[in-house]
Amino acid sequence: MELIASLAIGVLAGSGVWLLLRARTFQVIVGLALLSYAVNLFIFSTGGLRSGAAAILRAGESGSLANYADPLPQALVLTAIVIGFATTALLLVVLLAARGLTGSDHVDGRERDR
């Protein structure tokens, strides 16, 4: 399970960085989204990859803390998803406005000379 999560984080991060280096604005926005998904998956995996584990301690129940999942990374990822969605929506609006003003979707606003 850890290998699959590590590979997914690596592929998402690598694809996100590759898209961030592109000249088109839409590709940069998709790259930022992929990079944020990679970071969210990384933060989520720091809480421990357990299935069927309770997220909170129950009153009167004793046991090892290794049997429980850490709820803090789950809360951080949930907050990051909401903030990432709002940021992506704002970037798309800025992209549409910039494309309407300049007529191009290049990051620097001009087409390359061919």
All structural domains of the chain, each given as residue ranges with its CATH number in brackets, are: 2-49+69-102 (1.10.287)
**Which one is predicted more confidently, 104 or 40?**
40
41-78: b (≥16 Cβ within 10 Å) or e: bbebbebeeeeeeeeeeeeeeeeeeeebbeeebeeebe
> Can you give the pLDDT at residue 46?
82
Q: Helix 71-102 and helix 25-46: axis angle, to 10°?
A: 180
> Can you give the pLDDT at residue 13?
96
pLDDT in tens, 2-50: 899 899 999 999 999 999 999 888 899 999 999 999 999 998 888 766 6
**The pTM of the whole model exceeds 0.95:** no
Of 8, 11, 29, residue with least CA distance to 20: 29
> Can you give the pLDDT at residue 57?
67
Return the top range by mean pLDDT from 57-61, 66-70, 73-77: 73-77
**How far, in Å, are 41, 109, 111 from residue 98 at the CA level?**
32, 8, 14
